[in-house]
Structure 1
Amino acid sequence: MNKIQMTTPLVEMDGDEMTRILWKDIKDILLLPYIDLKTEYYDLGLPERDRTNDQVTVDSALATQKYGVAVKCATITPNAQRMDEYKLHQMWKSPNGTIRAILDGTVFRTPIMVKGISPVVKNWKKPITIARHAYGDVYKATEYRVPGPGKAELVFTDEQGKELSRQTVYDYECPGVLQAQYNKDSSIYSFARSCFQFALDSKKDLWFATKDTISKKYDHTFKDIFQEVFDKEYKEKFDAAGITYFYTLIDDAVARVVRSEGGYIWACKNYDGDVMSDMVSTAFGSLAMMTSVLVSPDGKYEYEAAHGTVTRHYYKYLKGETTSTNPIATIFAWTGALRKRGELDGLQDLCAFADKLDEACIATIEGGTMTKDLAGLWEGDIPANPVDSRAFLEAIRGQLEQRL
């Protein structure tokens, strides 16, 4: 067959450890035989980030701004152990955090559902997408261990040095802890627009939840900005698309989510999204079956798997042992990016290929062939046939060939 042609390159961000090995295998087995793949390549593996003083991460994000679509392999965010293991010059920041900051993007995570692996919540029939505002809040908070009795105050001074507000947080009568967190209107507006745009693109209802009844300034600002953006920019578009925007308190949202059938986008503040994305992914089956896409408010997309670099399997691989590492989320990162590239460039054959590869992945698992992590969750009528990673990719290729 003639290879599918591309007109605009994808930004390709390579990664670390076992997912880096799978990255090459996925390209060799499932992509390059069928697509004249055009990418602008950036090596975000830890050695290259260290060699370039992390400039390669910045360059990859700027390239995403230029070309509009990127696909990213899982990467290591180093700790003290990794500093020693990789002989790093410093403990580099999370590449995901750097890319998010440059693109001003929101992370959307969606489970991949297959027949034979049932969600823990029995009435969930459709995927639930978590949209996490990955900025500020407790992750950038300033903290202080209070040594003893005294007054804690919240003070704001404007750029001219004039004190505009001074409020007592608490009069401590004993030791304790103190924390101050922040957010910005500009980031919340970007978060809201990304969520509304993603809901339109995927034609799904959007839910948003905070605790504005308790947090009457902080959380209420989120609620007010979302409502403003919806009313001014998206209400007519949502009506035309037949989808809805729904706001409720976070505790009510949790109860509604558990009782629902799924099939919507659930937008959460930073901490809520961090917790709920893990809850949703685990309840649907496996973090290895969870897609992740970063969407900027001006329509730039970066696709990746939601999981990490699978370090344990990588050490086995280095010893020459065969591993059964699940590549599904990484494959779906590629198909998501290829589909979006096809949509933006008007390449229907590229979109169709992405759809067929997704179908081939699902059909392979539903036919009983899967990696060992899924075999432990399998409830299908056909006995599970756990295989190693390469055999699994070859089985997917067999299913793909039937569809081309």
Structure 2
Amino acid sequence: MEKIRMKTPLVELDGDEMTRVLWPLIKEKLILPFIDLKVEYYDLGIQNRDRTDDRVTVEAAEAIIKYGVGVKNATITPNADRVVEYKLKKQWKSPNGTIRAMLDGTVFRKPIMVKNVQPSVRSWVKPIVVGRHAYGDVYRNAELYVEAGCKAELVVTDEHGVEKRELIHDFAEAGVIQGMHNTDASIASFARSCFEYSLDQKVDCWFATKDTISKIYDQRFKNIFEEIFNLEYKDKFKASGIEFFYTLIDDVVARIMKHEGGILWACKNYDGDVMSDMVASSFGSLAMMTSVLVSPKGYFEYEAAHGTVQRHYYKHLKGEKTSTNAVALIFAWTGALAKRGELDGIPELILFAQKLEKAVVQTIESGVMTGDLAAICSPPALRVVYSEEFLDEIAKNI
């Protein structure tokens, strides 16, 4: 069979630990037999990021800007223990945070639904898409440990050297301090990305902040969303029969548990990080969630929404087999291939991506699955398989 030819490379961002083990197997078994794959490869494994002083992460983001579409494996964001484990120079920042800051835009995360895995929230019968703002907040923070007896102030200096000061806290005892920021332009991009997604998918858009407490920071998000909606999208939403709904974050968390789904839940950066994991877990597994960063400048980065599966990696190093779910990694590849096919006018590439996704779903619905899904599926799994066996089963279904 003649392989499908690509015109433009995908930017491939490799990762760490168990997902790094699975990544080449996915290509070998599910992609390379069918596609003459073109990639520009960047190793974002923690040791290479350390060797390059994290320059490789910046170069990878620049390549996505150049070529338009990237596909990313899961990566380590090191804490103090990881610095010791991998003998790193320092606690490098999240590569996802660096890439998202350079590309801007919004991360959309959507559950991959299969018939034999029912959501643990019984009212959820349709997917809940989490639209996560991809810039700023805690992921671009500045933070310090503060000694006792210090005074912390928020200081803003304008272009003429005039300062505005706001007391944060007088530290009678030692403590910690954190500063966060965002920009009007990035918040506006976030709002437009969410409204465009809702119109494209014909689903309601819910947005929530804590503007009753954060009367400047969070309220700025609320005001920009409302201004853009009223000026640019109100009539479009009405014509499409969908709505934009704003409430407080604690209110939407309570409401969402009784909702049927089929909505876009727009979240600030940290809220989206936490809530997308909750949604994914309810729909079955963190490995059953698609994730794509959509930049208003026309860049797309497809990724796995989960981590590097550290526990399974340690078992792998001991020579033990693991039943690691590779679905999100596979769907990162299919999403990127389909988008590349769309941008380059290669319908065969789009069709292949759709068929590979269908083969994944058919494999699970036939009763063959990894251990995470077998623990929650109904009816019971017919076969619980190891990671490589799962990929082989999908290859048969293609």
TM-score (norm 1): 0.89
Q: Does 1:362 align with 2:361?
A: yes
User: Aligned in 2, Cα 1:335/1:178: closer, same or farther, shift over 3 Å?
Assistant: closer
* 2:54 match: 54
Q: Does 1:303 align with 2:302?
A: yes
Give deviations 1:342-388, integer Å, cap 9, x for gaps.
222222221111111111111111111001111111122x5431011
- The answer to whether the 8 A contact 2:109-2:276 is kept is yes
Q: Does 1:373 align with 2:372?
A: yes
User: Aligned in 2, Cα 1:8/1:243: closer, same or farther, shift over 3 Å?
Assistant: farther
* 1:20 match: 20
SS in 2 for 1:272: helix
The percentage of counterpart residues that share the same residue type is 65
Stretch of structure 1 that moved more, 313-322 or 116-125: 313-322
* 2:270 match: 271
* 1:63 match: 63
User: Aligned in 2, Cα 1:322/1:233: closer, same or farther, shift over 3 Å?
Assistant: same
Partner AA of 2:96 in structure 1: N
* 2:320 match: 321
SS in 2 for 1:288: coil
Give how far 1:392 is off.
Answer: 0.7
- The answer to whether the 8 A contact 1:188-1:225 is kept is yes
SS in 1 for 2:115: coil
Q: Does 1:227 align with 2:231?
A: no
Whole-Å separation in 2 of the counterparts to 1:262 and 1:291: 16
Whole-Å separation in 1 of the counterparts to 2:151 and 2:353: 60
Whole-Å separation in 2 of the counterparts to 1:43 and 1:233: 41
Q: Does 1:293 align with 2:255?
A: no
User: Aligned in 2, Cα 1:255/1:80: closer, same or farther, shift over 3 Å?
Assistant: closer
User: Aligned in 2, Cα 1:383/1:75: closer, same or farther, shift over 3 Å?
Assistant: closer
Partner AA of 1:294 in structure 2: L
User: Aligned in 2, Cα 1:5/1:249: closer, same or farther, shift over 3 Å?
Assistant: same
Give how far 1:171 is off.
Answer: 8.1
Whole-Å separation in 2 of the counterparts to 1:318 and 1:179: 38
* 1:395 match: 393
Stretch of structure 1 that moved more, 165-174 or 325-334: 165-174
- The answer to whether the 8 A contact 2:104-2:134 is kept is no
Give how far 1:238 is off.
Answer: 4.1
Counterparts of 1:155-170 in structure 2 under 5 Å? 155-163=155-163, 165-167=164-166
Whole-Å separation in 1 of the counterparts to 2:80 and 2:340: 38
Whole-Å separation in 2 of the counterparts to 1:134 and 1:94: 12
- The answer to whether the 8 A contact 2:101-2:136 is kept is no
SS in 1 for 2:257: helix
User: Aligned in 2, Cα 1:169/1:80: closer, same or farther, shift over 3 Å?
Assistant: closer
- The answer to whether the 8 A contact 2:369-2:385 is kept is yes
Whole-Å separation in 2 of the counterparts to 1:171 and 1:45: 41
Whole-Å separation in 2 of the counterparts to 1:368 and 1:67: 39
- The answer to whether the 8 A contact 2:105-2:294 is kept is yes
- The answer to whether the 8 A contact 2:146-2:171 is kept is no
* 1:131 match: 131
SS in 2 for 1:287: coil
* 2:384 match: 386
Give how far 1:215 is off.
Answer: 3.0
- The answer to whether the 8 A contact 1:146-1:178 is kept is no
User: Aligned in 2, Cα 1:387/1:175: closer, same or farther, shift over 3 Å?
Assistant: closer
Partner AA of 2:367 in structure 1: G
Counterparts of 1:48-127 in structure 2 under 5 Å? 48-127=48-127
SS in 1 for 2:114: coil
User: Aligned in 2, Cα 1:151/1:27: closer, same or farther, shift over 3 Å?
Assistant: closer
Give how far 1:118 is off.
Answer: 1.3
Q: For structure 2, list consecutive stretches of 5 or more residues without a partner in the other structure.
A: none
User: Aligned in 2, Cα 1:202/1:5: closer, same or farther, shift over 3 Å?
Assistant: farther
Aligned length in residues: 397
User: Aligned in 2, Cα 1:153/1:81: closer, same or farther, shift over 3 Å?
Assistant: closer
Give how far 1:220 is off.
Answer: 1.7
Q: For structure 1, list consecutive stretches of 5 or more residues without a partner in the other structure.
A: none
Partner AA of 2:14 in structure 1: D
Whole-Å separation in 2 of the counterparts to 1:52 and 1:343: 34
Whole-Å separation in 1 of the counterparts to 2:340 and 2:124: 31
User: Aligned in 2, Cα 1:118/1:299: closer, same or farther, shift over 3 Å?
Assistant: same
- The answer to whether the 8 A contact 1:106-1:194 is kept is yes
* 1:216 match: 215
Whole-Å separation in 1 of the counterparts to 2:48 and 2:333: 22
User: Aligned in 2, Cα 1:173/1:82: closer, same or farther, shift over 3 Å?
Assistant: closer
User: Aligned in 2, Cα 1:340/1:203: closer, same or farther, shift over 3 Å?
Assistant: farther
* 2:196 match: 197
